[in-house]
A and B are shown apart, each in its own frame.
Chain A
Amino acid sequence: MSMNKETDEKMSVIARVLDSDIWYSFTRSKVTMVAALVTFLIFASALFAPIISPHDPFDLASLSLMDSLLPPAWNAEGDPNYLLGTDDQGRDVLSTILYGSRISLAVGLVSVAFAAVLGITLGLVAGYMGGRVDAIIMRVADVQLSFPAILIALLIDGTVNALVGGMDRERSAFTVLVISIGLSFWVQYARTVRSSTLVERNKEYVQAARLIGLHPFLIMLRHVLPNVMGPVLVIATINLALAVITEATLSFLGVGIPGTQPSLGTMIRTGNDFLFSGEWWITFFPGAMLAALVLAVNLLGDWLRDALNPKLR
């Protein structure tokens, strides 16, 4: 009986989406469609980087210093083997961008997921339990806010490196970034979910659930989550863009992904040093890729927020 009902619900979800205002507003906005296309292309190229990229920049044995600092192929000194030129280690810039966006996106997605799960859980707990627990969680949120991602990363990086000295840096750097970016983002989710939970807590169905012996927490989860899904999605989209930028910023401070397996941010940071010396391609192409990604994701986030905001319809 209930199984059937769920299937029906799922079916109707798809139908509702195609029939919905959201889909309508999506098809109406050209900018959004372009943004969606760009986002899709970047995600796809990152996903299939090992297949589509001409070189494997992470295979150290294939690098030759003698191929370093070649300009893009259309340049007189360029090499057709390296369409967008090579960096100071002789890595193909195009391939490195593809592999690098893979890493940047992974950092972004994992840290946003981490932040969302943490934030939603804490928000629900705070909103439902109230009292002392609520106060503690919300004060922790205050503490959290006073430590922006940059500061957290600087501190966590040092800690992690000292604690797990044996681990190789490529892996530990990823963990450090995900934890520090994730930690700096959870507060928004927690606040949104908490306020929604506060509203729901005193509603009759929750009281009723309590009466019939169901754990109210489960009920809340089922009822609060759908309510907050919209705002959470918007926050998550915008956070994804912010996470990718933060990763790049952190690499400027020396706590990003290491240079042997560069992310977009690491490439920009290394390329930065070559900006005045005329080797612009090392930083320009990754910079353009990063900007395109962040821009597209942001535009999607904007559209999503407007589309989900009933007041704007």
Chain B
Amino acid sequence: MSKFGRFLAASVLAGACATSAMAENSFDYAFQGSLKGLDPYTLRETFTLGILTNVYEGLIKRGPNLEILPGLATSWEVIEPTRWRFHLRKGVKFHNGNDFTAEDVVFSAERLNSEGSDMKGRVPVDATFEIVDDHTVDVILASPNPILHYEWELWSIIDKDWAEANDSMRVTSASDTAETTISLKANGTGPFKISEHTSGVSTKFEANENWWNWDNREFNIDTVNFTSISADATRVAALLSGELDMVYPVPTQDIKRIDASSTLSALTGPELRTIFLGMDQRRDELLNSSITGKNPFKDIRVRQAFYHAIDAEAISARIMRKQATPSAVMVSPFLLDNADQFERLAYDPEKAKALLAEAGYPEGFEIRIDCPNDRYVNDESICQAVAAMMAKVGVKVNVNAQPKAQFFAKILASGGYETSFYLLGWTPGSLDSHNIFANLYGCRDDAGKGGQFNIGGYCNPEVDALAKEILVENDAAKRLDLVTQAYRIVTDEVGYLPLHQQGLAWGVSNDVSVAQRADNVLRFEHITKN
């Protein structure tokens, strides 16, 4: 009986908690992926880093249109080409009450490049940090770097004293046997604190009244409840049923349904990620192909034929339901000022056939395309559509769609680049084109030295030379000119076959307003709810 009494008390208590939660202005949302740990240096992945920027902050910040804004640094200047000076914000406190000082920046930089960190290189490994005073830091570089701070929004600054006190100096690593505090608890400077975290399931945030910008805050919510919902249908259902204020991503086909609802709307916009097809131009004989003894993709006419055979407009209109923008370059027009100079090769199956015949394949050939089926928007459907389009010009494409775990295990350097035709998506982490020339177009050897993600092995020394120049060029106009030259070469040579920039789709209740960023990051500080 007394046991029952205790149960009863517990449930009454729970009921009371539920009602008190109702009184607060709470924002409940779900995302496809989950938040696995809270250490901001353990996984370089946009969602994880993005959600943590509500709790931790970087020296810079990016606004709703990804414009660079002051963050924990109020301003910065390049004193010498290789010396940058950052002026830090004064009066900022971490959630535990500690002051934010230059020491924390230096500590965070060291931790970022330490063993086990997945964020290495976000601060150049050979950069040194010098404390000028408590709120000024100099960064000394080995070579000029105009985009030094581009990725620093997602470089969270950690409190040195707290890390020391909580045995969190080292980056949490999977080989750890004991749990580290920092992977379960967070102590940042940001507008929200984490009040409850269940790894992989849900996370509760509450507003931080001691935030340095509290008086000028845009948001009016007190708590945020994040849940991971991996199944598309369930996620959409949770929004349609009114249980959540927002879900993302919304599958392309459900956008119409959400827009049709009087209480919901779909926020859509272009994402920075470019979806493209890669072709093996390195091997002497293609894998999984009917052609033996030679590699058709080494012939530019074959690459052009593939380009002409694929109707990117149809894919964007039908498969993507207009939630994609066909692209002629391997970068989003957001990140390249003169992207409109480039044009896609026209959809022309007849020309494709002619080019194939000219290259010596009048009957076409057979090849396998490797494709993820749980990574990009409608990835498997795109591959199937590509197979159907190629069939019309006589090329038999076998679709091998796999979960991302198996897909990446095979096609990346660690799997020996085991593919000859594949679909991949790429967002330059630095939001700058250099990243693309280095990673996707840079010549590589068999082990992956060089352009590590240049899976097809495209190689043009001229492009490599341009990439080196781009990296150190501080003058914006000259830099753009070099970038354009390089894109011109790789586009003319059909190094890759760009398809489109996929769209972002967030399903949002009409009661809330959010700022949708092109990198798919949701910042709580822009949320208002009626």
Residues of A within 8 A of B (CB): 59-61, 63-66, 68-69, 88-90, 158, 161-162, 165-166, 168-170, 254, 258-260, 272-279
* A–B complex contacts, Cβ < 8 Å, 28 sampled: A60-B396, A61-B388, A61-B392, A65-B315, A65-B317, A65-B318, A88-B253, A88-B319, A88-B381, A90-B318, A165-B410, A169-B398, A169-B399, A169-B401, A169-B402, A258-B400, A258-B401, A259-B380, A259-B381, A259-B401, A260-B384, A273-B232, A275-B233, A276-B237, A276-B254, A277-B251, A277-B256, A278-B256
B387 touches A276 (CB 8 A): no
Interface residues, chain B, with chain A CB atoms under 8 Å away: 232-233, 236-237, 240, 251, 253-254, 256-257, 287-288, 311, 314-315, 317-319, 368, 373-374, 380-381, 384-385, 387-392, 396-403, 406, 409-410, 418
Q: What secondary structure prevails in chain B residues at the interface with A?
A: helix
Q: Which residues of A contact B387 (CB under 8 A)?
A: 60, 260
B233 and A272 form a contact (CB under 8 A): yes
Say yes or no: A254 contacts B253, CB within 8 Å: no
Residues of B within 8 A of A166 (CB): 287-288
Distance of A64 Cα from B315 Cα, bound (Å):
11
Whether A276 contacts B240 by the Cβ 8 Å rule is: yes
- Contact A65 to B398, CB < 8 A, known contacts A260-B384, A273-B232: no
The answer for the CA separation of A88 and B251 in the assembled complex, in Å, is 13
A165 touches which of B257, B314, B374, B418 (Cβ 8 Å): B418
Contact (Cβ within 8 A) B315 A276: no
Task: Tell me, rounded to whole Å, the shortest Cβ–Cβ distance linking B350 to chain A.
Answer: 14
Given known contacts A68-B318, A89-B384, A272-B233, A169 and B254 CB-to-CB distance under 8 angstroms: no
**When chains A and B are docked, how far (Å) is the Cα of A199 from the Cα of B406?**
49
State whether A279 and B391 are in contact (beta carbons under 8 Å apart), knowing that A88-B381, A161-B406, A254-B403 are contacts in the complex: no
Contacts of B253 in A (CB 8 A): 88, 273-274, 277, 279
Given contacts A89-B381, A276-B240, contact A65 B311 (CB under 8 A): yes
Across the interface, which residues of B come within 8 angstroms of A63, CB to CB?
388, 391
Are A65 and B385 touching (Cβ within 8 A)?
A: yes
User: For B254, what are the chain A residues with a Cβ–Cβ distance below 8 Å?
Assistant: 276-277
Contact B233 A254 (CB under 8 A): no
How many Å lie between the Cα of A158 and that of B380 in the bound state?
18
Are B256 and A259 in contact, with the CB atoms below 8 A?
A: no
CB neighbours (8 Å) of A273 from chain B are: 232-233, 251, 253
Give complex CA distance A90, B319 in Å: 10
- B401 partner residues in chain A, CB cutoff 8 A: 169, 258-259
Question: B400's contact among A89, A169, A274, by CB below 8 Å, is which?
Answer: A169
With A61-B391, A69-B318 already in contact, 5 other A-B pairs whose C-beta atoms are closer than 8 Å: A61-B388, A162-B406, A165-B410, A170-B398, A260-B387
* A89, B254: Cα distance in complex, Å: 17
Question: Measured between C-beta atoms, what is the minimum distance from B366 to chain A in Å?
Answer: 9
Closest Cβ of chain B: how far from A153's Cβ, in Å? 13
Residues of B within 8 A of A65 (CB): 311, 314-315, 317-319, 385, 388-389
In the assembled complex, which residues on chain A have CB atoms less than 8 Å from the CB atom of B385?
65, 89
What's the nearest-Cβ distance from chain A to residue B320, in Å? 11
User: What B residues does A60 contact at CB under 8 A?
Assistant: 387-388, 390-391, 396-397
Structural contact, B257 and A277, CB atoms closer than 8 A: yes
Chain B positions within 8 Å of A276 at CB level:
233, 236-237, 240, 254, 257
Residue from B368, B373, B409 in contact with A254 in the complex, judged by beta carbons closer than 8 Å: B373
Cβ-closest chain B residue relative to A255 = B403
Q: Is the CB of A260 within 8 A of B399?
A: yes
- Report the separation of the CA atoms of residues A278 and B236 in the bound assembly, to the nearest whole angstrom: 13
Which 7 pairs from chain A and chain B are nearest by CB? Answer: A60-B391, A61-B391, A277-B253, A63-B388, A60-B388, A65-B318, A65-B314
Q: In the complex, what distance in Å separates the CA atom of A165 from the CA atom of B418?
A: 9
- In the bound assembly, the distance between CA atoms of A60 and B237 in angstroms comes to 33
Whole-angstrom distance from the CB of B331 to the nearest CB of chain A?
A: 26
Hey, which chain A residues are within 8 Å of B403, CB to CB? 254
Separation of A260 and B396 alpha carbons in the complex (Å)? 12
Give A61 Cβ to nearest chain B Cβ, in Å: 4
Residues of A within 8 A of B391 (CB): 59-61, 63
Q: Which residue of A lies closest to B317 (CB)?
A: A65
Min CB distance, A253 to chain B, in Å? 9
Bound CA span A122–B151, Å: 62
**Bound complex: CA of A162 vs CA of B389, how far in Å?**
28
Residues of A within 8 Å of B409, CB to CB, are 162
**B residues near A259, Cβ cutoff 8 Å:** 380-381, 384, 399, 401
Cα(A158)–Cα(B404), bound, Å: 12
Assuming the contacts A69-B318, A279-B253, asked whether A168 and B233 have C-beta atoms less than 8 A apart, the reply is: no
Contact residues in A for B256 (Cβ distance below 8 Å): 277-278
A68 partner residues in chain B, CB cutoff 8 A: 318-319
Q: Smallest CB–CB gap between B423 and chain A, Å?
A: 14
- Nearest CB of A to B362, in Å: 16
The CA-CA distance from A260 to B397 in the complex, in Å, is 10
Q: List residues of chain A with CB within 8 A of the CB of B410.
A: 165
A69–B232 alpha-carbon span in the complex (Å): 19
Task: With both chains docked as a complex, state the minimum distance between the C-beta of B445 and any C-beta of chain A, in angstroms.
Answer: 22
Q: Which chain A residues border B380 with CB–CB below 8 Å?
A: 259
